[in-house]
Structure 1
């Protein structure tokens, strides 16, 4: 059984890949309305109202922006 411990060799971590998506500012007003059923102004108002509750300080990595969470 001692040989099993020898097989635990640290491998380099694989790079994480994220798919590219359109940013909120890249969407047209009609596209925002059809996707989210709210206009751009209403979404920004929601972001302002919920910012204190959704914004999480972190020291490990970047947190998800409030606009993305909403």
Structure 2
């Protein structure tokens, strides 16, 4: 029995059958797959509103929120 690898998840038959992943287009990084929200609500459907941030994209805001000065 072969141990499943993280790279195998997008091709997993069960995850494909239940629509676990959805494709998105990042404006700077191109296409990527993301996990669909794990629950569904009729009155307030969930969705992905923002793409993953680029490296360092929110650094200034995080420093400010922590009350720290940039090094």
**Structure holding more strand per residue:** 2
> Which TM-score band applies after superposition, normalised by the shorter structure?
under 0.3
TM-score computed with the length of structure 2 as normaliser: 0.24
TM-score computed with the length of structure 1 as normaliser: 0.24
- Higher RCO structure (Cα 8 Å, ≥6 apart): 1
